[in-house]
Amino acid sequence: MMQESPDPEDDETPTQSDRLSMLSQEIQTLKRSSTNNSYEERVKRLSVAELNELLEEIETAIKDYSEELVQQLALRDELEFEKEVKNSFISVLIEVQNKQREHKETAKKKKKLKNGSPQNGKQERGHMPGTVRIYL
């Protein structure tokens, strides 16, 4: 029996999803603020401890996104393999069905030829009497 592949959304916990969503929002905020000159000024005003904390947050976000990417790529590969297996199965099934159809057609033709040809070298009569009376 074929097993259904696991639903990718079942593996994702709400906390992981929430965390990735928050990280995504933080990155979007950083992108928007990096276009402003004020971001550069804000970074220059940060202390070494704050910069280290920001660095840790960014590294954590990168690590989380990398892990998520690896998981999604693995899932994609698994689904691609499953698709290939199913396509192979369908191809073989169609091939078997075609061979079955050919075999049935060949058997029908042989049966027609067998029924339509003379048996044992004798020709069939068009009409055979049901009873034969012998007079003496």
Residue ranges of domains in the chain: 20-113
pLDDT at position 62, please?
Answer: 92
Contact status, residue 24 vs residue 31, Cβ threshold 8 Å: no
Predicted confidence at residue 28, as pLDDT, reads 77
Half-sphere exposure in the Cβ direction for 100 (13 Å, CA): 6
pLDDT tens per residue, range 4-46: 555 544 555 557 677 777 777 877 776 766 566 677 788 888 8
